[in-house]
Amino acid sequence: MTKQNVLVQKPRAGPDRYICSISNKKVLKEEVDVNGAGEIIGSWVDRLRASSPTHIKSSTPSSLTNMVHLPSAMKMFNQIMDESKGKQIVMFLDYDGTLSPIVDDPDRAFISHKMRTTVKKLARCFPTAIVSGRCMDKVYSFVKLAEIYYAGSHGMDIREPAKGTKYKKGSHAGILFQPASEYLPMIDKVYNELVEKTKLTPGAKIENNKFCASVHFRSVDEKKWTELAHQVKSVLKNYPELRVTQGRKVLEIRPPINWDKGKALEFLLESLGFANCNDVFPIYMGDDRTDEDAFKVLRERGQGIGILVSKYPKETSASYSLQEPSEVMDFLQRLVHWKRVPYVGQTPM
Ligand SMILES: O=P(O)(O)OC[C@H]1O[C@H](O[C@H]2O[C@H](CO)[C@@H](O)[C@H](O)[C@H]2O)[C@H](O)[C@@H](O)[C@@H]1O
């Protein structure tokens, strides 16, 4: 709300500490070196299988040793609110699998009218951001709320709310930060090559997420997953610097910068004036591996909570869970109600 940042097209124009972190091309644990040996393909496919809830469900107990059964955020609602006492709650919401249910066709992952209304009410109570792997325009075309922050392309395209909305005090509505703009032409080229290379694989879908590209495996026969992974690798061998991460039956091709949803969360907190504050309580909700970066940041800061949206136990740094988008909506509605009608002895900010 206070320290709004300038329009940024290149990494060097952001706040200093972001310049430092994005120029550090550290290889992250989750990413895969596409120049590596043939086992990369197997590892992609194994990880895609492992991230499928039906596979997790049918896993043997020994494979679940690192899986965490989290307490329900709904059941712990009052305790969470007690923890937030005297602090400004800031809401961070992932889109797919959190605000909208997972569906086969990524172009039809619509948010329900009820969920939109809930997020609208939420944004009147707390600064609210949607943090998604999708490109900003696509998320906006689904959500259609001008009063919230958006961090599209896994946080590589951060926009502020439109002028005149409650949590927007500056006069400039628009782009806050785009740390990967120099990679736009390359990602576009890779997107086109992937479309061409995979066009004969039934069900394969390549999504242009502007600063990254997504390769969808969901509608491809599982027997063809290895073939599709080979096609992806054959394109990426000409772009050895690009990173590959995994989501729910999707491979995400990203620029080689050390930037993710966790960094986006920190950037937004700083933009909102909460960089070095103890009186802020961020709540991040997400269902995917890419949301783990944000959960980790909250743990490291010792601030707020991460809520994993999942019916099944997963390896996670979140503190609580909700089962599915409908329960996310119940939680958000309860939060709005709590803000308006706090229970006895509680004073929401
Ligand atoms: O960060 P998110 O908002 O969760 O975006 C991550 C990816 O979500 C979308 O894919 C996922 O949802 C699809 C629709 O339900 C589903 O078909 C797909 O299998 C999921 O992986 C989106 O299409 C991707 O571009 C995002 O990167």
**Ligand 1 atom nearest to CA at 290:** 1
Whether the CB of 261 sits within 6 Å of ligand 1 = no
pLDDT of residue 341: 80
How many angstroms separate the alpha carbon of residue 101 from the centre of ligand 1?
10
Residue minimizing CA distance to atom 4 of ligand 1: 96
pLDDT of residue 69: 86
Q: Could you tell which of 250, 284, 308, 328 is best to mutate to test the pocket of ligand 1, judged by most ligand atoms within 8 Å of the CB? A: 250
Whether the CB of 94 sits within 6 Å of ligand 1 = yes
pLDDT digits (tens, 9 = 90+) for 7-26: 333 332 333 344 333 433 44
Amino acid 113 reads: H
Angle in degrees, 0-180, between the axes of helices 261-271 and 292-301, rounded to the nearest 10: 50
How long a stretch of residues is the chain? 349
**Ligand 1 atom nearest to CA at 101:** 15
Closest listed residue to residue 272, CA positions, set 86, 129, 99: 129
3-state helix/strand/coil string of 245-302 = EEECCEEEEECCCCCCHHHHHHHHHHHCCCCCCCCEEEEEEECCHHHHHHHHHHHHHC
Predicted confidence (pLDDT) at residue 30 exceeds the cutoff of 80: no
**Residues 211 and 157: beta-carbon distance below 8 Å:** yes
Whether the CB of 217 sits within 6 Å of ligand 1 = no
Residue minimizing CA distance to atom 6 of ligand 1: 133
**Ligand 1 atom nearest to CA at 261:** 1
Highest-confidence range of 3-7, 27-31, 54-58, 299-303, by mean pLDDT?
A: 299-303
Architecture of domain 85-157+268-339: 3-Layer(aba) Sandwich (3.40)
Report d(CA 142, CA 248) in Å as an integer: 19
Residue minimizing CA distance to atom 14 of ligand 1: 106
Please provide residue 285's backbone torsions phi and psi, each rounded to the nearest 5 degrees.
-120, 130
How many angstroms separate the alpha carbon of residue 249 from the centre of ligand 1?
8
Among the residue ranges 51-55, 122-126, 321-325, the one predicted with the least confidence is 51-55
What is the per-residue DSSP string for 147-195? Answer: TSEEEEGGGTEEEPPPTTSTT--SS--SEEE-TTGGGHHHHHHHHHHHH
Closest listed residue to residue 19, CA positions, set 10, 8, 11, 7: 11
Residue with tokens 């939420």: 122
Provide Rg for the chain, Cα atoms.
20
pLDDT digits (tens, 9 = 90+) for 236-285: 999 999 999 999 999 999 999 999 999 999 999 999 999 888 999 999 99
pLDDT of residue 349: 65
pLDDT digits (tens, 9 = 90+) for 103-152: 999 999 999 999 999 999 999 999 999 999 999 999 999 999 999 999 99
Domain residue extents for the chain: 85-157+268-339
How many angstroms separate the alpha carbon of residue 216 from the centre of ligand 1?
8
pLDDT of residue 29: 39
How many angstroms separate the alpha carbon of residue 250 from the centre of ligand 1?
7
Closest listed residue to residue 239, CA positions, set 251, 225, 252, 256: 256
Whether the CB of 289 sits within 6 Å of ligand 1 = no
Do the strands 128-131 and 175-177 form a parallel or antiparallel pair, or are they unpaired? unpaired
Residue minimizing CA distance to atom 20 of ligand 1: 248
pLDDT digits (tens, 9 = 90+) for 247-261: 999 999 999 999 999
Query: Sign of the C-alpha dihedral, residues 259, 212, 46, 238?
Result: negative
Helix (H) or strand (E) run with residue 137 in it: helix 136-143
Is the overall model pTM greater than 0.95, yes or no? no
Whether the CB of 96 sits within 6 Å of ligand 1 = yes
Q: Could you tell which of 49, 55, 96 is best to mutate to test the pocket of ligand 1, judged by most ligand atoms within 8 Å of the CB? A: 96
pLDDT of residue 47: 85
pLDDT band at 173 (very low <50, low <70, confident <90, very high): low
**Ligand 1 atom nearest to CA at 97:** 4
Predicted confidence (pLDDT) at residue 228 exceeds the cutoff of 70: yes
How many angstroms separate the alpha carbon of residue 10 from the centre of ligand 1?
26
pLDDT band at 68 (very low <50, low <70, confident <90, very high): confident
Whether the CB of 290 sits within 6 Å of ligand 1 = yes
**Ligand 1 atom nearest to CA at 252:** 27
pLDDT digits (tens, 9 = 90+) for 182-212: 999 999 999 999 999 999 999 999 999 999 9
Please provide residue 245's backbone torsions phi and psi, each rounded to the nearest 5 degrees.
-125, 170
Whether the CB of 211 sits within 6 Å of ligand 1 = no
